[in-house]
Structure 1
Amino acid sequence: MTTTSFSPTHWNTSASVWRTVLRMRVTLYKRQFTGGRAVLKVIAALFGVLGATLLCLRASGTNGDYPELVSGTTSLALSTIGVMWILMPIMSGLSDDNLHPRHFQILPLEPVRLARALFSTSLVGMTVPITALAAAAIPIYAATHHPAALPLAIVAWPTTVLLMVGTSRVAMLTMSQLLHSRRSRELALLAFSAIFGGLYLLQFPLQSRLDTVVGGDVTWPLTVAHSIPFAWGITSVDAAAGGAWLLAAGAVLALALVDLALLWSWQHLVVRYFNGKVAESAGATSLQLKNQGRDIRTGWRASRLGSVISRELSLWHGDMRRRTQLLSVAIMTLVSGFGPLISSSIPFSAAWGAWFLIYLAMAAGSNLYGFDGASMWHLVMIPEAAAADVRGRQIAWAIVMTPFVVVATAAVRIFGDLGTDRLAVPIAVGISMIGVGAGLVVAISAKAPYPVPEMKKTFSFNTRGSFNGSSFGLIILGIVIFAATTAPGVLLGALLPSPLNYCAVPVAVSIGALGAWIGGRVAITRMQREPDRILFAVTTT
Structure 2
Amino acid sequence: MAHVLIRMRWTLLRNSLRGERVYGFATGVVVGVVLAAGTIVVAVLWPSALPVTLAVWLMGWVFGPIFTGGGNETLRPEYFTMIPVTPRRMAAGLLAGAFAGPAPLISLVAFLSMAVYGWRHGFVATLVGLVAAALTLITMVLLSRIVVAAFGLFIRSRVAAVAAAVVTGTLLALAGNGWALVVALGAAQEPTWAELLVRLLPSGWGIAAIEASWPVGLGILAANGLVVALLWMAWAALLDRRVASAARGGVPARRGRPRPFPMVPGARAVAAKELRAWSRDLTRIHLLAVAFSYAVVFVLLPVSLGWWGMAPFAGVIAIVMAAGVSANLYATDGTALWLTLMTPGAERKDVHGRQLAWLLTVGPAAVLLSVAGTAAGGQAWAWPWVLSLLPATLGGAAGLVVLIAVTSLIPATDPHKRGGNPLSTGADESAETGLAWLMLIAVPTTALPATAVVLIQPWAGVPVGVATGALCAWWFGRIACKRLESNGTELLNLMKHGSAPSRAAGGDKASAPDLPRAHKIAIALCYSIAWLPLFPQGLVPLLFKVLGVTDRVWFLALHLPEGWQWPMIIFMISLGLLMYGYAILLPMRYQPAEGEQQDRSVRQPAGT
Determine if the TM-score, normalized by the shorter chain, exceeds 0.5.
yes
**2:351 and 2:480 in contact (8 A); partners too:** yes
Alpha-carbon offset, residue 133 of structure 1:
1.9
Aligned match of 2:201 in 228, 234, 245?
228
- 1:58 is matched with 42
- 1:316 is matched with 278
Alpha-carbon offset, residue 459 of structure 1:
3.5
Superposition pairs of residues 38-57 of structure 1, within 5 angstroms: 38-57=22-41
- 1:25 is matched with 9
Aligned match of 1:486 in 432, 447, 451?
447
Q: 1:208, 1:37 → 2: CA distance?
A: 40
- 1:203 is matched with 178
SS at structure 2 position matched to 1:398? helix
Superposition pairs of residues 392-431 of structure 1, within 5 angstroms: 392-419=353-380, 421=381, 423-431=383-391
**2:384 and 2:461 in contact (8 A); partners too:** yes
- 2:257 is matched with 290
CA-based RMSD: 3.3
Paired positions, count? 495
Aligned match of 1:333 in 295, 304, 317?
295
> Is the counterpart of residue 246 in structure 1 residue 206 in structure 2?
no
> Is the counterpart of residue 74 in structure 1 residue 74 in structure 2?
no
Q: 1:166, 1:183 → 2: CA distance?
A: 27
Q: 1:203, 1:161 → 2: CA distance?
A: 27
> Is the counterpart of residue 167 in structure 1 residue 143 in structure 2?
yes
- 2:410 is matched with 450
> Is the counterpart of residue 388 in structure 1 residue 349 in structure 2?
yes
Q: 1:43, 1:355 → 2: CA distance?
A: 32
Letter in 2 for 1:256: G
Q: 2:178, 2:464 → 1: CA distance?
A: 39
Alpha-carbon offset, residue 304 of structure 1:
1.6
Aligned match of 1:436 in 385, 393, 396?
396
The structure showing larger relative contact order (alpha-carbon pairs under 8 Å, at least 6 residues apart) is: 1
Alpha-carbon offset, residue 352 of structure 1:
4.3
Alpha-carbon offset, residue 191 of structure 1:
6.8
SS at structure 2 position matched to 1:324? helix
Letter in 1 for 2:316: W
Runs (5+) with no aligned partner, structure 1: 1-13, 63-69
Alpha-carbon offset, residue 401 of structure 1:
1.1
Aligned match of 1:157 in 127, 133, 142?
133
Distance verdict in 2 for CA 1:42–1:223, change over 3 Å: same
- 1:5 is matched with none
**2:180 and 2:304 in contact (8 A); partners too:** no
Alpha-carbon offset, residue 308 of structure 1:
0.7
Alpha-carbon offset, residue 184 of structure 1:
6.8
**2:271 and 2:356 in contact (8 A); partners too:** yes
**2:68 and 2:429 in contact (8 A); partners too:** no
**1:450 and 1:467 in contact (8 A); partners too:** no
Aligned match of 2:428 in 442, 466, 476?
466
TM-score under structure 1 normalisation? 0.81
Letter in 1 for 2:206: G
Alpha-carbon offset, residue 535 of structure 1:
3.0
Alpha-carbon offset, residue 436 of structure 1:
1.0
> Is the counterpart of residue 182 in structure 1 residue 157 in structure 2?
yes
**1:358 and 1:405 in contact (8 A); partners too:** yes
Aligned match of 2:477 in 509, 512, 520?
520
Q: 1:272, 1:335 → 2: CA distance?
A: 34
After superposition, the C-alpha distances for 1:53-112 in whole angstroms (9 at most, x for unaligned) are 2121111124xxxxxxx34x3222222322332222123338453111102224566765
TM-score under structure 2 normalisation? 0.73
Aligned match of 1:505 in 459, 462, 471?
462
Distance verdict in 2 for CA 1:432–1:168, change over 3 Å: same
Q: 1:105, 1:268 → 2: CA distance?
A: 14
Q: 2:258, 2:485 → 1: CA distance?
A: 32
Distance verdict in 2 for CA 1:257–1:345, change over 3 Å: farther
**1:394 and 1:442 in contact (8 A); partners too:** yes
Distance verdict in 2 for CA 1:465–1:109, change over 3 Å: farther
Letter in 2 for 1:176: G
Letter in 1 for 2:235: W
Distance verdict in 2 for CA 1:174–1:387, change over 3 Å: same
Aligned match of 1:261 in 230, 255, 258?
230
SS at structure 1 position matched to 2:99? coil
Identity %: 24
Runs (5+) with no aligned partner, structure 2: 499-608
Letter in 2 for 1:431: P
Letter in 1 for 2:31: F
Q: 1:199, 1:428 → 2: CA distance?
A: 28
Q: 2:220, 2:96 → 1: CA distance?
A: 24
Alpha-carbon offset, residue 228 of structure 1:
1.2
Alpha-carbon offset, residue 359 of structure 1:
1.4
- 2:192 is matched with 219
**1:337 and 1:409 in contact (8 A); partners too:** no
Distance verdict in 2 for CA 1:187–1:354, change over 3 Å: closer
Q: 2:294, 2:174 → 1: CA distance?
A: 13
SS at structure 2 position matched to 1:423? helix
**1:180 and 1:279 in contact (8 A); partners too:** no
After superposition, the C-alpha distances for 1:291-347 in whole angstroms (9 at most, x for unaligned) are 26xx4314xxx112111111111111111110101111221232244443344489x
Q: 1:364, 1:540 → 2: CA distance?
A: 23
SS at structure 2 position matched to 1:134? helix
Superposition pairs of residues 124-139 of structure 1, within 5 angstroms: 124-139=100-115
Distance verdict in 2 for CA 1:539–1:120, change over 3 Å: farther
Alpha-carbon offset, residue 229 of structure 1:
1.7
Alpha-carbon offset, residue 474 of structure 1:
4.5
